[in-house]
């Protein structure tokens, strides 16, 4: 586990959220990206070594839409940056950890990502992510 890569925040409306994060807090948005597989639009806002990822659902079937329906806006997941995602996932599976993704998939920014089930992480949806060039650092 290298660092907190980002914190995902579910928002009902990205433009409204950006009026706060960008215009009031003065933070810089470095990317706005649609991830069709997850039916979301994400705004990436770097904070030092980490990022805030604002997530807006692009469809009512999006996991983010379901999250907001049941819990309202708020922290949706915490992402830890790792190296060796595949071997970490098989280690976790051996230990009986519930995995949402047994194999890595491609998330925002082309990173390899996998989610762990909140039942195994004290109620926090946890994402493990590995940037393509993580091995270089
Ligand atoms: Zn994320």
Mean pLDDT of the chain: 93
One DSSP character per residue, 70-135 reads HH-SEEEEEEEE-S-HHHHHHHHHHTT--BS-SS-EE-GGG-EEEEEPGGGTTT--EEEEE-TTGG
> What spacing in Å lies between the alpha carbon of 113 and ligand 1's midpoint?
8
Angle at alpha carbon of residue 99, lines to 53 and 10, rounded to 5°: 25
pLDDT band at residue 133 under the 50/70/90 scheme: low
> What spacing in Å lies between the alpha carbon of 55 and ligand 1's midpoint?
9
> What spacing in Å lies between the alpha carbon of 5 and ligand 1's midpoint?
8
> What spacing in Å lies between the alpha carbon of 77 and ligand 1's midpoint?
7
**Rounded CA gap, 83 and 129, in Å?**
8
Rg (CA), the chain: 15
Per-residue pLDDT reduced to its tens digit, 93-112: 999 999 999 999 988 778 89
**Rounded CA gap, 91 and 19, in Å?**
42
> What spacing in Å lies between the alpha carbon of 53 and ligand 1's midpoint?
7
Q: Coil, helix or strand for 58?
A: coil
- Residue 103 neighbours by CB distance under 10 Å: 11
> What spacing in Å lies between the alpha carbon of 95 and ligand 1's midpoint?
24
Evaluate whether the domain defined by 3-136 bears CATH number 3.10.180.10: yes
Per-residue pLDDT reduced to its tens digit, 5-43: 999 999 999 999 999 999 999 999 999 999 888 899 999
> What spacing in Å lies between the alpha carbon of 75 and ligand 1's midpoint?
11
pLDDT band at residue 84 under the 50/70/90 scheme: very high
How many CA within 13 A on the CB side of residue 35?
A: 24
Q: Name the residue among 68, 70, 76, 71 with its Cα closest to residue 52.
A: 76
> What spacing in Å lies between the alpha carbon of 92 and ligand 1's midpoint?
19
End-to-end CA distance of the chain: 13
pLDDT band at residue 136 under the 50/70/90 scheme: very low
> What spacing in Å lies between the alpha carbon of 24 and ligand 1's midpoint?
23
């Amino acid at each position: 586990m290298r660092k907190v890569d980002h914190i995902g925040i579910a928002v009902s409306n990205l433009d409204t959220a950006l009026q706060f994060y960008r215009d009031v807090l003065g933070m810089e948005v470095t990317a706005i990206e649609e991830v069709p597989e997850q039916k979301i639009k994400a705004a990436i806002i770097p904070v030092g070594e980490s990022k805030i990822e604002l997530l807006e659902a692009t469809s009512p079937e999006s996991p983010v839409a379901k999250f907001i329906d049941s819990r309202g806006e708020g922290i949706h997941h915490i992402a830890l940056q790792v190296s060796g995602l595949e071997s970490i996932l098989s280690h976790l599976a051996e230990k009986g950890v519930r995995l949402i993704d047994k194999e890595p998939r491609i998330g925002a920014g082309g990173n390899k990502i996998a989610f762990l089930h909140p039942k195994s992480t004290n109620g926090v949806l946890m994402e493990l992510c590995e940037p393509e060039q993580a091995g270089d650092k």
